[in-house]
Amino acid sequence: AMEGCPGVRIREGDCAVLKRGEVFKAVPVLRRRKIIFEKQWFYLDNAIGHIYGTTFEVTNGGNLQPKQEVEETTTETKEAGTDNRNIVDDGKSQKLTHDDIKALKDKGIKGQEIVQQLIENSTTFRDKTEFAQDKYIKKKKKKYEAVITIVKPSTRILSTMYYAREPGKINHLRYDTLAQMLTLGNIHAGNKMIVMETCAGLVLGAVMERMGGYGSIIQMYPGGGPVRAATSCFGFPKSYFDNLHEFPLSKVHSLLSGTFSTETLPSDPEDNALVEEESNGLTDEKQTSLQETEEEPTTEAPMEINQAEEQETMYINTEDVEFKENKEKENKENVREKQMKQWERRKKLTEAAALLREKNADGLIVASKFHPTPLLLPLLEFVAPSRPFVVYCQYKEPLLECYTKLRERGGVINLKLSETWLRNYQVLPDRSHPKLTMSGGGGYLLSGITVVLDKGKSDSSNLEALKMEEPSPKRCKVQDLHC
């Protein structure tokens, strides 16, 4: 536990999140790496060693400097107006021009000073009401006092960031909807979870955070491999990944029908490139270079291309016997390495398959771009009875269909189709109200609990359906429940 922990420090290699107001951006903490954020550019070098949560200013040289705690000059009762009836917005009330302000910035004048200058050079400032003055100052501060806070990534930070910056990558899953999923799914330490998501790994990361490294997760993935871009931002310790498995969707049906084998693995671009090189035939130049960018650059790689393009090579000594002998050795090593990797992958796949075959998962989370029905019904087979499942969909209609199919299948109860409505507030003395803009939609959830599946009893499943869907007027109120 983190008892009495003085605060986590920013370390090189971390994934940190820059925050300015309500704007977030995830960046790797690397020395001499230029970062551009909110129209400013700077290096993170000076931030290393500071505690997460520290606020910095950007100096003229592009370096970060912790912001000094400045005593806010308490505005003594300054001159202010009562309303805006006489204030004309002709765009001429600010006497400083763009160039004037630029000159101030170039001189290295601090943001605070610039704001002060703007106030002094505004002809209408003293006519504004106190509230309007407050609002004006806040607005100018936001623009000219560029402070950046470096925060530690968490589900809260990353889900808010992704929703604001790249909602398309997470199927427009709003952060409060994600929060519901984690709770409805009873995600906690020790679970054996099945996760199927195409949200850049954000949902996986959120599940991992709530499991704290305890238990196990099997991530189902489409295509060649799971995308875990967001997951790496969380900064989990390596041990968390020991019990993270993955399994290809393309093998689900064979696993359920009992015909699963590891002989035919899902196509892997890396494998293809290596296979073609071995055959020493016409190497697909494109694929080789693809493979190169995926692997760590080694001295062999460029030489391998050259081997295939011997006629066009610019290297001298290609005819050298010694050179050829070394090439053969390298080839053999590569083959061995490739075989080792394949063996590793097969082993992991077999492990994941074994875990799934036990059909005793403690829960299922689905949040993807795919239609939920063909995903949910097969994957539920792997879940134990009396366990929650949650399906997210950006749209409501596919979940209507999913609900219907689940009713037909049976083995689920307490089905609920829902969405959450979220509103942020501005709270200020005499000026409290909901904020002016809000999200129009954050996606929909279908949740339920598994029960022992009564196969082959169609009469009782109809009865169940009837029982489950009492028409609204007869539905008992929550207070009347205790029989």
The distance of closest approach from Cβ of residue 65 to another protein in the complex, given in angstroms and rounded to an integer, is 17
* Residue 211 lies near another protein (rule: CB under 8 A): yes
Residue type, 313: T
* Residue 179 lies near another protein (rule: CB under 8 A): yes
* Residue 472 lies near another protein (rule: CB under 8 A): yes
Among 18, 58, 182, 202, binds another protein (CB under 8 A): 182
Among 58, 127, 362, 443, binds another protein (CB under 8 A): 362
* Residue 340 lies near another protein (rule: CB under 8 A): no
**Pure H helices in 169-320:** 175-184, 202-211, 229-233, 252-257, 269-278, 285-294, 300-308
* Residue 131 lies near another protein (rule: CB under 8 A): no
* Residue 49 lies near another protein (rule: CB under 8 A): no
Distance from C-alpha of 134 to C-alpha of 72, rounded to nearest angstrom: 13
Stretch that binds another protein, among 117-125, 127-135, 208-216, 369-377 (CB under 8 A): 208-216
* Residue 66 lies near another protein (rule: CB under 8 A): no
Distance from C-alpha of 208 to C-alpha of 217, rounded to nearest angstrom: 8
Cβ closer to another protein: 293 or 432? 432
* Residue 56 lies near another protein (rule: CB under 8 A): no
Distance from C-alpha of 66 to C-alpha of 93, rounded to nearest angstrom: 35
Among 385, 408, 458, 462, binds another protein (CB under 8 A): 385
Instruction: Work out whether the CA dihedral 278, 284, 285, 287 comes out positive or negative.
Output: negative
Cβ closer to another protein: 340 or 465? 465
Taking CB under 8 A as the criterion, which residues in 71-110 touch another protein?
none
- Per-position x/- string for 392-431, each x denoting binding to another protein as judged by CB under 8 A, each - no binding: ----xx-xxx-xx--------xxxxxxxxxxxxx-x-x--
The distance of closest approach from Cβ of residue 171 to another protein in the complex, given in angstroms and rounded to an integer, is 18
Contact 211, 387 (CB under 8 A): no
The distance of closest approach from Cβ of residue 423 to another protein in the complex, given in angstroms and rounded to an integer, is 5
Instruction: Work out whether the CA dihedral 359, 361, 364, 368 comes out positive or negative.
Output: negative
Distance from C-alpha of 463 to C-alpha of 479, rounded to nearest angstrom: 25
Residue type, 324: K
The distance of closest approach from Cβ of residue 475 to another protein in the complex, given in angstroms and rounded to an integer, is 6
Cβ closer to another protein: 53 or 223? 53
* Residue 152 lies near another protein (rule: CB under 8 A): yes
* Residue 470 lies near another protein (rule: CB under 8 A): yes
Q: How many residues line the site for another protein (CB under 8 A)?
A: 81
In three-state secondary structure terms, 76 is coil
* Residue 368 lies near another protein (rule: CB under 8 A): no
The distance of closest approach from Cβ of residue 372 to another protein in the complex, given in angstroms and rounded to an integer, is 13
Q: Residues near 216 by Cβ (< 8 Å), separated by ≥ 6?
A: 191, 192, 193, 243, 244, 245, 355
Cβ closer to another protein: 183 or 254? 183
Distance from C-alpha of 365 to C-alpha of 121, rounded to nearest angstrom: 57
Distance from C-alpha of 12 to C-alpha of 104, rounded to nearest angstrom: 34
Half-sphere exposure of residue 291: CA atoms within 13 angstroms, side-chain side: 23
Among 117, 124, 155, 373, binds another protein (CB under 8 A): 155
* Residue 62 lies near another protein (rule: CB under 8 A): no
Q: How many CB atoms lie within 10 A of CB 85?
A: 7
Q: Residues near 17 by Cβ (< 8 Å), separated by ≥ 6?
A: 24, 25, 26, 27, 150, 151, 152, 153, 157, 158, 161, 233
Cβ closer to another protein: 152 or 228? 152
Stretch that binds another protein, among 130-138, 147-155, 238-246, 267-275 (CB under 8 A): 147-155
Cβ closer to another protein: 350 or 360? 360
In the sheet with 15-20, reading across from the earlier edge strand, the strands are 23-28, 15-20, 147-151, 55-58, 64-66
Taking CB under 8 A as the criterion, which residues in 270-329 touch another protein?
none
* Residue 7 lies near another protein (rule: CB under 8 A): yes
SS3 per residue for 78-142: CCCCCCCCCCCCCCCCECCCHHHHHHHHHCCCCHHHHHHHHHHCECCHHHCCHHHHHHHHHHHHH
Quick one: tokens of 391?
């399906």
- Per-position x/- string for 214-253, each x denoting binding to another protein as judged by CB under 8 A, each - no binding: x---------------------------------------
Q: Report CA-CA distances (Å) from 337 to 9, 332, 333, 334.
A: 38, 9, 6, 5
Cβ closer to another protein: 372 or 388? 388
* Residue 209 lies near another protein (rule: CB under 8 A): yes
Stretch that binds another protein, among 5-13, 94-102, 137-145, 288-296 (CB under 8 A): 5-13
Taking CB under 8 A as the criterion, which residues in 446-465 touch another protein?
449-452, 454
Quick one: tokens of 392?
């997210």
